[in-house]
Amino acid sequence: MLHTNLSVNEKGHLTLAGQDVCALADKYSTPLFLMDEERIRNNCRTYIGAMKEFFPAGSRPLFASKSCCFKRIYEIMAEEGMGIDLVSPGELYTAAAAGFPLENAFFHGNNKTDRDIEYAIDSGVGYFVCDNLEELNSINETAGKKGIVQNILLRLSPGIDPHTQKKISTGKVDSKFGTAIETGQAKELCKYALTLDNVCLKGFHCHIGSQIFEYDSFANAAEIMLTFIAELWRDLGFETDILNLGGGFGVRYVESDPFIDYRENIKGLAGEIDRLCAALSVKKPAILMEPGRSIVADSGVTVYSVGSVKTITGYKSYVSIDGGMPDNPRFALYESDYTALIANKADREPDLVATIAGRCCESGDIIQEDVSLVTPERGDYLAVLVTGAYNFSMASNYNRIPRPPVVMIKGDGSDYVAVKRETYEDLIRNDI
């Protein structure tokens, strides 16, 4: 199977962390998000351990909230000693409600409003990842009114396309995020930040994209960022404490995705950073990374019930399920790859090539095209694997479909509801 927490039991049912996915679907109904808590914790430990072992003192991972955001996740992140990145006041509110220590939070976003900035300062957010000049002025002014000095990083665009999908690569010069190094604007912004009384510039952030399976793309970004850092030291005498290299490594969604050893990649990247710092004669900054999917994706399985199998003679077959783009919009958005199987027939050989269609009144409501499945019958369970990231957090109520619950399963065989299933009453809660 794709990941070591997935298997098939003696009944021929898919298991996640040793638990029968079909039994959980019987218990909680479908559609259903399942998450393996131990897997999330182990992924956190891998990053924390390797970053502590190989990177300079003060280095640590920040969990990218955008990949999966609800209160229980923040409790787990706090227990594991992770920092977090936040991109909206809603994520901030959720983290605060979970009791997450907000001094370990980094507040992102390319358009924070004055209200967002005030709320984050009042909440005691540790760092702002400042995107632009207007925001810098607003943070400085608000911090001044509150009588504090706010720690910030500046988000820069290093001008790298790591050959990932266009819509999820964010570090190129032509990007809505950050300030470009290449054009000289980053240096000007930095000089300006250093003149302000109520912000303390601690370092820089960049994010080059997602689904990166080898550390060389991060090493390329580090080279550009450290060269810039060396220039600031030489020209302005500014010493950088923190370099945040953005998101984490890639995740296997399908068999053709490569295996990746996070620890070895972090070790390799650390070697490159050491070499670059020595060659450029700069003090080694603490290194931050912001893994999202590589913390939570492989913990997740979504379970649906099959409603129909429609074969259009001479064309193709559609398997319709009781969820779809409202709980997983990633195929509709990016044509993302997923692995799907019939969870109650997981021991049988596939005999059908079919497109998995959601229940929305939308022909683009597809979970995956042309996948090999065991021919299902109405009532069978269809599982989509590796859905722990960017599924629940991207879920919507399109067509007024209630969001599925999130059920956490534990290594000791127990399970618990982390997020309740939405009700029809929830759907009309704010309708006047």
Ligand X SMILES: Cc1ncc(COP(=O)(O)O)c(C=O)c1O
Say whether 206 is catalytic. no
* Contact flag: residue 210 with ligand X (CB under 6 A): yes
- Contact call for residues 391 and 331 (beta carbons, < 8 A): no
Stretch that binds ligand X, among 43-51, 95-103, 188-196, 241-249 (CB under 6 A): 241-249
- Minimum CB–partner distance for residue 94 and ligand X (Å): 17
- Minimum CB–partner distance for residue 107 and ligand X (Å): 11
Taking CB under 6 A as the criterion, the residue among 203, 246, 285, 326 binding ligand X is 246
Taking CB under 6 A as the criterion, the residue among 158, 292, 300, 402 binding ligand X is 292
The residue among 175, 254, 268 whose CA lies nearest residue 218 is 268
Comparison of 87 and 346: residue with beta carbon closer to ligand X: 87
* Contact flag: residue 376 with ligand X (CB under 6 A): no
Omega cis (within 30) before 329? no
Taking CB under 6 A as the criterion, the residue among 112, 207, 330, 359 binding ligand X is 207
* Contact flag: residue 162 with ligand X (CB under 6 A): no
* Contact flag: residue 112 with ligand X (CB under 6 A): no
* Contact flag: residue 170 with ligand X (CB under 6 A): yes
Comparison of 61 and 323: residue with beta carbon closer to ligand X: 61
Q: What contacts 321, CB < 8 A, 6 or more positions away?
A: 31, 304, 305, 306, 307, 356, 357, 358, 359, 367, 382
Taking CB under 6 A as the criterion, the residue among 13, 39, 108, 252 binding ligand X is 108
Total of residues contacting ligand X (CB under 6 A): 17
Assigned token pair, 232:
């600031």
* Contact flag: residue 291 with ligand X (CB under 6 A): yes
The residue among 58, 90, 59 whose CA lies nearest residue 74 is 90
Length of the chain: 432
CA distance 199 to 192: 11
CA distance 205 to 148: 22
Tell me the residue type at 156: L
CA distance 390 to 251: 12
The residues assigned a catalytic role are 361
The binding site for ligand X (CB under 6 A) comprises 64, 67, 85, 108, 168, 170, 207, 210, 246-248, 290-294, 389
